[in-house]
C-alpha cells in the first residue's frame, strides 16, 4: 500500500498483537498495515486502548509479556539500504537496532531518567553501549555538542535528574535518543506531562532537530493540536485497527471515517467561537474476543447492518485510506 | 447578580519540610494574596500552568485546606470563622469535583454507596428516599441503567462513567457552588466533550455556580463566562471570556494563548515564546513574577508587586505596561 | 464477591470427597454443583499456582479444624488416659501412632492437642489484631505526637525477638491457657500496628480521602468507611500468616515448659517429652507432634499466601 516513488523507512504489514487473559484474548492491535516514509512526521492518533502505544512499543519489540505479536512483519530499511524484519531479529540485533537506528522517547521524563545517574553518565552510557571503544572524554564532548542543539547549558552535564525541570528532562531525553544519530524516532506522548508553554517550546525543538538530524518521526499522541502542528500524515486508530490514514490536511478538513469526524467535532479550538461541541456517545470498545464487525459500529451515527457483522478493511482511495463500509464495496 | 463567593487577600504558605525554623525557614508561596468574587450562576475559570496555585485556591475556597490568612465569604458569611458543625453544614452547599475519578472514589465502595454517602452524612432523607435520590441523580448524569450500575465498583467502570459518579456524588446534596478541579484532564478526548456538556447542562438545570480549574484554555473558553489567569500564586489577569481571548493584556496571558496547540494544521505556529521555565514558588522573582521571562520587561517591573488594575470595562490585569 | 459463594460450594463438595467415612450428607442440586465446579476451574485457570496453594491451605486448615470440632471421628482414645495402651508402644493397628511413655495414645494426643494449639494461636492473633489494628488506624491517621509515641512503643516491642518476649511474659504471668494466649498476643500487636499504620499513612494521601473530607465526613467516619475497608485486605492475609507464626510461638513456649498445666494435651510439650526418649529408638513420640506443628503452620501459611493473590483488588488480569 506504499505510495510509488516514496521510500519507506518502516513498513508495518498485517501486524497483530494480542494478550491472553483468563477469559480470552485481548486483541490490542489487529491487522495493522502502515508505511512510514523517510523524512515524514507520521502522527499516530487515538484514545486510550486504541493500540497506538502498543504498536509503537512493538516496533522496537519493547512489549511486556504476555503481550506478543501474533502475526505480521515490521520491515525496517535503514540508511544502509538493507531491509530487515524487526520481528524476526534476535536479541543481539535488536540491542544494536535500539538507539543506533531507531530511538524512542516516552511520556514521563521523571521516570525515564535514572535518578542516581548524572546527565553526563546517561550520555556516556548511551554511547558506550553501542560504541564501546569510545573514551569517556569523547563521549562527553559529543554530549556537550548535542546539549547545544537542545538549548541546554553544558554545566547541566554534572547535574542529576532531580535538579532539572520537567521540560529540561524531556529535552535530555531527546538528546539521549538522538546522540547516536538514528534515522527513526518514535515519540510516545512526549508532551503529555508538560505545561503548555514548555510543550510549545518542545514542539519547536523537535521540529528543528528533525530537520537538523534528518529524522523520520512517528508521533504517538491523543493531542490533536500537537499532531496538527507537527505531522505530515496521520493514522487514526480505533479498537486496535487503523480507521483512517491520510495527510494531515485531509484528516482535519475532509475526514472520511465517522470516528475521525467525531473526533474533529469534539475537540475545542481556541481560535474558534464554538458554541457547541458535538460529543460522541459511548466509550471505546472492549478488545477481548472481538466479533467480526467494525469496532466503531456501536457508537457510529452512520452504522449500517454490514458494519455490525463484517469487519471493514483499510482500503486505499487514491493516496488516502479508510476502513469504513460507507466507502468500501460490501463484497 | 450577587456574589456567591468572595475571596479577599487569600494567602496560603506551605513550609518546606526540613528547612529549619524561624527566619531561615523556606516557604512555598502557593497562593499569594488572591482576591476575586464569583457571581451566582456564573462559571469562573481559573487557568494556569503547574505551580500557579489554582488547585490550592480551589481547595481554599471550600476550606478543604486552611488559608494562612485572608477572608472567604459564602453568601456574605465569613466561612473562616465557621466552627466544625457549621463547616459540616457548609459542605452540603459547596462541593468539589476532582481530577482523577479512579483515585477520588474509594475502591471498596460501590457506586450507590459512594453517591449516597453525602446524603447519609448530612442526614438527608431516610434509606428508601436516599436510594431513590441516588438513582435519580445517576440518571441525571447519564449513568444508566441506574439500578445495574448502582452495585458496581469503580474498577468495573469506564473512565467516563467513573467521572460521572464523581459528579453525581458532588451534586446529590444539591449544592449551589461547585469547585471543579481539572475534571476532564484524565479523560479520553471523546469523553471530555461529553463531560463538559454534562456540566453545562447540569449547571442550567440545577442553578449551579462553578469555579472551573484548568490548564487547558481551549476548554476554559468553551465553558467559562469569565476567566482568571494565575501565575506563580497570583492572578495576573481576569476578564470576561470574550475579552480575555480576543484582547489579552498581560504578556503571560498572551504567551499562554499563543502556545495552546490548535487542532487545525493550517493554524499559525507559536512564535516568541517566553524564555526559561516557571521558577520555583519558594523564591519567586521580585516585583512581577513574570518579568525575567517577559519580552516587554522594563526596570520598573522588578520593583514592587504590580497591582491588579482595571484597564477598562472590568478587565483586570497585573501588568503595569500598556 | 459472588465467586466466593460458589467457591465455598465447590470446596464443601471437595471436602466431602476427601472424608472417607465422613457422614455428611450435604445436598447440592446438580446445577449448583456444575456452577461451583465451573467457578472452581475458572479460578484455577486464572490464578494458577497461587490458586492451588490457597486450595491446599484451605484443605489442610479445614481438615485440622474439622478435627478439633469432631475429635471422636478420628480417635476413640482419651488423650490423658494413661491406661490406654502399653508404655512406649510402637505404632500398631491398635494405636496408629503409638503410645507415649505414660501409656497415652499418641494419636489421641495429636487430635486433642490440635484444639489447644489452634485455640491459643487463633485467640492470640485475634487479640493482637483487635488491639493493633485500631491503634494503627488512629496513629497513622492522626499523625501527631500520638503517632510518634505509639510508634516508639510499638517499634521497641517489635525489635525484641518475639520468642524471648513471649517467654518473658509467659514467665511473668504464670501458667494457664489464658496467660499463654496473652503472652503470645503481645508479640504480634506491633505487627498489626505497623502494617495498618503504614497502609493508613498511604491511604491518607489518596484523593478519595480528600474527597470524603470534601463531602463533609468526620474523621471517624473517614477512618471507618474509607480507610479501614481499603486496609482490611492486607490484614486478612497477615492474619493467616500470623496464626502460623503464633502456632510456632505457642509450641515453642510449651516446649520449654512454660504455660500449660499437665492435663491439657499440647504438641509442644509432647515434642519436648519425645526428645527425651528418642535416643532409645522411640521415634514416634517426637515425629508426630513435630509433623503436626509443621503441617498446621504450613497450612495457615499457604492459606495466607494464597489469599494475598486473590484478595488484591487491583489484580492484573494477565
Read off the pLDDT of residues A159-200 as tens digits, 9 standing for 90 and up.
999 888 888 899 999 999 999 999 999 999 998 888 888 888
Q: Which residues are CB-contacts of A60 (< 8 A; sequence separation ≥ 6)?
A: A86, A94, A97, A98, A102, A104, A186
The predicted model gives B46-50 an average pLDDT of 92
Nearest partner of A51 among A180, A185, A184, A241, judged by Cα? A241
Q: What is the pLDDT of residues C136-195, one digit of tens each?
A: 999 998 888 999 999 999 999 999 888 899 889 888 888 888 888 999 999 999 999 999
C226 touches B: beta carbon within 8 Å: yes
Helix (H) or strand (E) holding A158: none
Cβ–Cβ gap B263/A262 under 8 Å? no
Q: What is the pLDDT of residues A42-62, one digit of tens each?
A: 999 998 888 899 999 999 988
Q: Could you please report the per-residue DSSP string of A12-54?
A: EEEEEEEEEETTEEEEEEEEEEEEEETT-EEEEE--TTSSHHH
Q: What is the pLDDT of residue A238?
A: 93
Q: Which residues of B touch A198 (CB under 8 A)?
A: 277
Q: What is the pLDDT of residue A3?
A: 55
**Within 13 Å, how many C-alpha atoms sit on residue A100's CB side?**
16
Q: What is the pLDDT of residue C315?
A: 42
Grid cell 469503580 is found at B154
Contact B105, B154 (CB under 8 A): yes
Q: How far apart are CA A231 and CA A41, in angstroms?
A: 5
pLDDT bin (cut points 50, 70, 90) of residue B20 is low
B3-93+175-317 folds as Rossmann fold (3.40.50)
Q: What is the pLDDT of residue C132?
A: 93
Cβ–Cβ gap C317/A20 under 8 Å? no
Q: How far apart are CA C144 and CA C138, in angstroms?
A: 10
Strand partners, A18: A27, A68
CB atoms within 10 A of CB C245: 21
Q: What is the pLDDT of residue C6?
A: 42
Q: What is the pLDDT of residue C170?
A: 87
Residue C55 has pLDDT above 80, yes or no: yes
Minimal-distance CA residue of chain B relative to A252: B264
Residue C19 has pLDDT above 50, yes or no: no
Q: What is the pLDDT of residue A330?
A: 57
Cβ–Cβ gap C216/B98 under 8 Å? no
Between positions 23 and 82 of B, the ones with CB within 8 A of C are: 62, 64
Cβ–Cβ gap C313/B155 under 8 Å? yes
Residue C48 has pLDDT above 60, yes or no: yes
- Residue B305: cis peptide before it, omega within 30 degrees of 0: no
Residue C34 has pLDDT above 70, yes or no: no
Q: In this structure, what C-alpha cell is assigned to residue C251? A: 509450641
Contact A10, A59 (CB under 8 A): yes
The predicted model gives B11-32 an average pLDDT of 81
Contact A211, B294 (CB under 8 A): no
| Chain B interface mutation, best of C216, C234, C236, highest count of B Cβ atoms under 10 Å | C216
Q: How far apart are CA C164 and CA C158, in angstroms?
A: 11
Contact C122, C90 (CB under 8 A): no
Distances (CA, A) of A321 to A304, A310, B112: 20, 18, 46
B259 touches C: beta carbon within 8 Å: no
pLDDT bin (cut points 50, 70, 90) of residue B273 is confident
CB atoms within 10 A of CB C206: 18
**Within 13 Å, how many C-alpha atoms sit on residue C299's CB side?**
16
A8-116+160-292 folds as Rossmann fold (3.40.50)
Q: Which residues of B touch A283 (CB under 8 A)?
A: 158-161, 188, 191
C81 touches A: beta carbon within 8 Å: no
Q: What is the pLDDT of residue A1?
A: 44
Q: Which residues are CB-contacts of A15 (< 8 A; sequence separation ≥ 6)?
A: A29, A31, A32, A33, A55, A58, A69, A71, A72, A73, A74
Q: What is the pLDDT of residues B107-130, one digit of tens each?
A: 989 999 999 999 999 988 888 999
What are the structural domain ranges in chain B?
A: 3-93+175-317
Which residue among B107, B155, B169 places its CB closest to the CB of C215?
Answer: B169
Q: What is the pLDDT of residues C90-121, one digit of tens each?
A: 888 878 888 888 888 888 888 888 888 898 99
Q: How far apart are CA C247 and CA A277, in angstroms?
A: 65
Q: What is the pLDDT of residue B26?
A: 83
What are the structural domain ranges in chain C?
A: 1-47, 106-311
| Alpha-carbon torsion (A246, A271, B219, B260), positive or negative | positive
Nearest partner of A35 among A254, A312, A232, judged by Cα? A232
Burial A248-267 (b: 16+ CB within 10 A, else e): bebbbeebbbbbbbbbbbbb
pLDDT bin (cut points 50, 70, 90) of residue C47 is low
Q: What is the pLDDT of residues A90-105, one digit of tens each?
A: 888 888 888 889 999 9
Distances (CA, A) of A234 to A42, A249, C11: 6, 9, 55
Residue A285 is classified by DSSP as P
Q: Which residues of B touch A278 (CB under 8 A)?
A: 193
Nearest partner of B212 among B16, B45, B36, judged by Cα? B45
Q: What is the pLDDT of residues C290-315, one digit of tens each?
A: 999 999 999 999 988 888 877 664 44
The predicted model gives C39-53 an average pLDDT of 70
**Within 13 Å, how many C-alpha atoms sit on residue A330's CB side?**
11
The predicted model gives B213-234 an average pLDDT of 93
B99 touches C: beta carbon within 8 Å: yes
pLDDT bin (cut points 50, 70, 90) of residue C43 is low
C42 touches A: beta carbon within 8 Å: yes
Q: What is the pLDDT of residues C204-260, one digit of tens each?
A: 989 999 999 999 888 889 988 999 988 887 888 889 889 999 999 989 888 888 867
Q: What is the pLDDT of residue A165?
A: 84
Contact A10, A65 (CB under 8 A): no
Q: What is the pLDDT of residue C46?
A: 61
Helix (H) or strand (E) holding C57: helix C49-69
Grid cell 474527597 is found at C211
* Mean model confidence pLDDT for chain B: 89
What number of H helices and E strands is found in chain B?
A: 11, 12
Grid cell 539521549 is found at A176
Contact C103, C86 (CB under 8 A): yes
Tens-digit pLDDT profile for chain A (331 aa)? 455 567 889 999 999 998 887 777 888 899 999 999 999 999 999 988 888 999 999 999 888 877 888 889 999 988 777 888 988 888 888 888 888 899 999 888 778 889 899 999 999 999 998 888 888 999 999 999 999 989 888 888 999 998 888 888 999 999 999 999 999 999 999 988 888 888 888 898 999 999 999 899 999 999 999 999 999 999 999 999 999 999 999 999 999 999 999 999 888 888 888 778 888 887 778 788 778 888 998 889 888 888 888 888 888 888 899 999 888 765 5
Task: Tabulate helix, strand, coil % of chain B (nearest 5).
Answer: 35, 20, 40
Residue C225 is classified by DSSP as I
Distances (CA, A) of B249 to A181, B31, B322: 43, 22, 8
Nearest partner of A265 among A249, A282, A283, A280, judged by Cα? A280
Helical H segments across chain B, by residue range: 54-61, 84-90, 101-104, 111-121, 127-140, 146-150, 159-171, 189-206, 217-223, 241-246, 251-259
Distances (CA, A) of B143 to B140, B149, C185: 7, 7, 48
pLDDT bin (cut points 50, 70, 90) of residue C53 is confident
- How much of chain C exceeds pLDDT 70, in percent? 82
- Domain C106-311: give its CATH architecture: Orthogonal Bundle (1.10)
A20 touches C: beta carbon within 8 Å: yes
What's the angle, vertex CA B254, arms to CA B248 and CA B257, rounded to 5?
Answer: 100
Q: Between the CA atoms of B212, B186, B155 and C211, what dihedral angle is there, to the nearest 10 degrees?
A: -30
C23 touches A: beta carbon within 8 Å: no
Q: How far apart are CA C246 and CA A40, in angstroms?
A: 67
Q: What is the pLDDT of residue B9?
A: 94
Q: What is the pLDDT of residues B142-198, one digit of tens each?
A: 888 889 999 999 988 888 899 999 999 999 999 999 999 999 988 888 889 889 999
Strand partners, A185: A103, A217
Q: How far is A61 from chain B (nearest CA, A)?
A: 26
Helix (H, G, I), strand (E, B) or coil at A151: coil
Nearest partner of C79 among C296, C251, C254, C269, judged by Cα? C269
Helix (H, G, I), strand (E, B) or coil at B295: coil
Contact C95, C86 (CB under 8 A): no
Q: Looking at this predicted complex, what is its ipTM?
A: 0.86
Task: Give the least confident one: B199-203, B247-251, C47-51, C292-296.
Answer: C47-51
CB atoms within 10 A of CB B113: 16
Tell me the pairing of strands B43-47 and B27-39: unpaired
Nearest partner of C90 among C288, C251, C291, C265, judged by Cα? C288
Q: Which residues of C touch A54 (CB under 8 A)?
A: none
Chains with at least 3 CB pairs less than 8 angstroms from chain B: A, C
Helical H segments across B249-306, by residue range: 251-259
Amino acid at each position: 500500500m506504499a505510495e510509488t516513488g516514496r521510500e519507506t523507512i518502516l513498513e508495518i504489514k498485517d501486524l497483530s498483537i494480542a494478550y491472553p487473559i483468563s477469559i480470552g484474548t485481548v486483541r490490542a492491535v489487529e491487522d495493522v498495515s502502515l508505511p512510514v516514509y523517510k523524512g515524514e512526521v507520521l502522527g499516530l492518533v487515538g484514545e486510550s486502548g486504541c493500540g497506538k502505544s502498543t504498536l509503537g512499543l512493538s516496533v522496537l519489540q519493547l512489549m511486556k509479556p504476555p503481550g506478543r505479536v501474533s502475526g505480521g512483519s515490521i520491515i525496517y530499511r535503514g540508511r544502509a539500504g538493507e531491509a530487515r524484519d524487526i520481528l524476526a531479529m534476535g536479541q543481539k540485533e535488536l540491542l544494536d537496532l535500539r538507539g543506533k537506528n531507531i530511538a524512542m522517547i516516552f511520556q514521563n521524563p521523571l521516570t525515564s531518567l535514572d535518578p542516581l545517574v548524572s546527565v553526563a553518565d546517561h550520555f556516556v552510557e548511551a554511547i558506550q553501549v553501542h560504541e564501546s571503544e569510545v573514551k569517556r572524554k569523547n563521549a562527553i564532548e559529543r554530549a556537550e555538542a548535542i546539549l547545544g542543539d537542545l538549548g541546554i547549558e553544558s554545566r547541566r552535564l554534572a547535574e542529576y535528574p532531580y535538579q532539572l525541570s520537567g521540560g529540561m528532562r524531556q529535552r535530555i531525553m531527546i538528546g539521549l535518543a538522538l546522540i547516536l544519530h538514528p534515522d527513526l524516532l518514535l515519540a510516545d506522548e512526549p508532551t503529555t506531562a508538560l505545561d503548555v508553554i514548555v510543550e510549545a517550546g518542545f514542539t519547536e525543538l523537535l521540529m528543528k532537530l528533525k530537520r537538523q538530524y534528518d529524522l523520520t518521526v512517528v508521533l504517538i499522541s491523543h493531542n490533536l493540536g500537537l499532531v496538527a502542528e507537527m505531522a505530515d500524515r496521520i493514522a487514526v486508530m480505533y479498537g486496535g485497527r487503523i480507521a483512517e490514514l491520510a495527510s494531515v490536511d485531509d484528516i482535519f478538513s475532509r475526514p472520511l471515517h465517522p470516528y475521525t469526524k467525531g473526533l474533529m467535532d469534539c475537540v475545542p479550538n481556541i481560535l474558534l467561537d464554538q458554541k457547541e461541541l458535538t460529543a460522541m456517545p459511548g466509550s471505546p470498545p472492549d478488545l477481548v474476543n472481538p466479533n467480526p464487525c467494525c469496532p466503531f459500529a456501536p457508537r457510529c451515527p452512520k452504522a449500517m447492518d454490514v458494519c455490525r457483522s463484517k469487519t471493514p478493511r483499510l482500503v486505499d482511495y487514491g493516496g488516502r485510506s479508510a476502513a469504513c463500509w460507507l466507502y468500501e464495496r460490501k463484497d | 447578580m450577587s456574589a456567591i463567593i468572595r475571596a479577599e487577600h487569600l494567602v496560603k504558605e506551605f513550609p518546606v519540610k526540613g528547612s529549619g525554623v524561624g527566619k531561615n525557614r523556606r516557604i512555598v508561596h502557593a497562593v499569594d494574596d488572591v482576591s476575586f468574587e464569583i457571581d451566582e450562576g456564573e462559571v469562573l475559570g481559573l487557568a494556569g500552568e503547574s505551580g500557579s496555585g489554582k488547585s490550592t485556591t480551589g481547595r481554599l475556597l471550600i476550606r478543604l485546606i486552611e488559608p494562612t490568612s485572608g477572608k472567604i465569604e459564602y453568601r456574605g458569611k465569613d466561612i473562616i470563622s465557621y466552627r466544625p458543625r457549621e463547616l459540616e453544614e457548609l459542605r452540603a452547599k459547596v462541593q468539589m469535583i476532582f481530577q482523577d475519578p479512579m483515585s477520588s472514589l474509594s475502591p471498596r465502595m460501590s457506586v450507590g454507596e459512594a453517591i449516597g454517602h453525602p446524603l447519609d452524612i448530612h442526614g438527608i432523607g431516610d434509606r428508601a428516599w436516599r436510594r431513590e435520590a441516588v438513582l435519580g441523580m445517576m440518571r441525571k448524569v447519564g449513568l444508566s441503567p441506574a439500578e445495574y450500575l448502582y452495585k458496581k465498583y469503580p474498577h468495573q467502570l469506564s473512565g467516563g462513567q467513573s467521572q460521572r459518579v464523581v459528579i453525581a456524588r458532588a451534586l446529590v446534596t444539591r449544592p449551589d457552588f461547585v469547585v471543579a478541579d481539572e475534571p476532564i484532564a484524565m479523560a479520553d478526548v471523546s469523553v471530555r466533550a461529553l463531560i463538559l456538556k454534562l456540566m453545562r447542562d447540569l449547571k442550567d438545570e440545577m442553578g449551579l455556580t462553578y469555579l472551573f480549574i484548568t490548564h487547558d484554555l481551549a476548554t476554559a473558553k468553551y465553558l467559562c463566562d469569565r476567566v482568571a489567569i494565575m501565575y506563580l500564586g497570583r492572578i495576573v489577569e481576569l476578564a470576561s471570556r470574550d475579552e480575555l481571548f480576543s484582547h489579552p493584556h498581560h504578556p503571560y496571558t498572551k504567551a499562554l494563548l499563543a502556545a495552546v496547540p490548535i487542532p487545525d494544521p493550517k493554524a499559525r505556529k507559536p512564535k516568541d515564546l517566553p524564555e526559561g521555565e516557571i521558577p520555583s514558588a519558594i523564591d519567586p522573582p521580585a516585583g512581577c513574577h513574570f518579568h525575567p521571562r517577559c519580552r516587554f520587561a522594563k526596570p520598573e517591573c522588578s520593583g514592587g508587586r504590580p497591582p491588579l488594575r482595571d484597564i477598562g470595562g472590568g478587565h483586570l490585569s497585573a501588568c503595569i505596561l500598556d | 464477591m459472588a465467586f466466593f459463594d460458589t467457591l465455598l460450594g465447590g470446596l464443601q463438595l471437595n471436602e466431602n470427597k476427601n472424608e472417607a467415612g465422613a457422614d455428611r450428607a450435604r445436598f447440592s442440586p446438580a446445577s449448583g454443583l456444575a456452577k461451583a465446579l465451573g467457578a472452581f476451574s475458572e479460578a484455577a485457570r486464572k490464578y494458577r499456582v497461587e490458586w492451588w496453594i490457597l486450595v491446599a491451605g484451605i484443605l489442610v486448615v479445614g481438615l485440622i479444624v474439622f478435627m478439633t470440632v469432631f475429635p471422636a471421628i478420628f480417635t476413640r482414645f482419651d488423650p490423658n488416659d494413661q491406661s490406654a495402651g502399653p508404655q512406649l508402644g510402637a505404632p500398631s493397628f491398635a494405636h496408629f501412632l503409638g503410645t507415649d511413655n505414660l501409656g497415652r495414645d499418641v494419636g489421641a494426643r495429636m487430635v486433642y492437642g490440635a484444639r489447644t494449639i489452634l485455640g491459643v494461636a487463633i485467640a492470640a492473633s485475634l487479640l493482637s489484631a483487635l488491639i493493633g489494628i485500631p491503634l494503627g488506624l488512629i496513629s497513622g491517621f492522626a499523625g501527631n505526637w500520638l503517632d510518634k509515641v505509639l510508634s516508639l512503643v510499638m517499634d521497641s516491642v517489635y525489635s525484641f525477638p518475639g520468642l524471648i518476649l513471649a517467654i518473658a511474659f509467659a514467665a511473668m504471668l504464670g501458667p494457664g491457657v489464658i496467660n499463654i494466649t496473652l503472652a503470645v498476643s503481645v508479640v504480634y500487636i506491633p505487627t498489626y500496628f505497623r502494617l495498618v499504620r503504614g497502609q493508613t499513612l498511604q491511604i491518607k494521601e489518596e484523593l478519595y480521602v480528600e474527597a470524603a473530607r470534601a463531602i463533609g465526613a468526620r474523621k471517624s467516619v473517614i477512618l471507618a468507611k474509607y480507610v479501614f475497608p481499603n486496609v482490611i485486605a492486607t490484614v486478612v492475609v497477615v492474619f493467616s500468616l500470623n496464626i502460623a507464626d503464633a502456632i510456632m510461638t505457642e509450641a515453642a513456649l510449651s516446649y520449654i515448659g512454660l504455660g500449660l498445666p499437665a492435663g491439657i494435651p499440647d504438641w509442644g510439650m509432647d515434642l519436648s517429652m519425645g526428645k527425651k526418649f528418642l535416643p532409645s529408638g522411640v521415634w514416634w513420640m517426637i515425629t508426630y507432634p513435630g509433623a503436626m506443628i509443621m503441617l498446621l503452620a504450613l497450612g495457615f501459611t499457604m492459606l495466607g499466601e494464597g489469599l494475598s493473590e486473590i484478595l488484591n483488588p487491583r489484580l492484573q488480569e494477565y
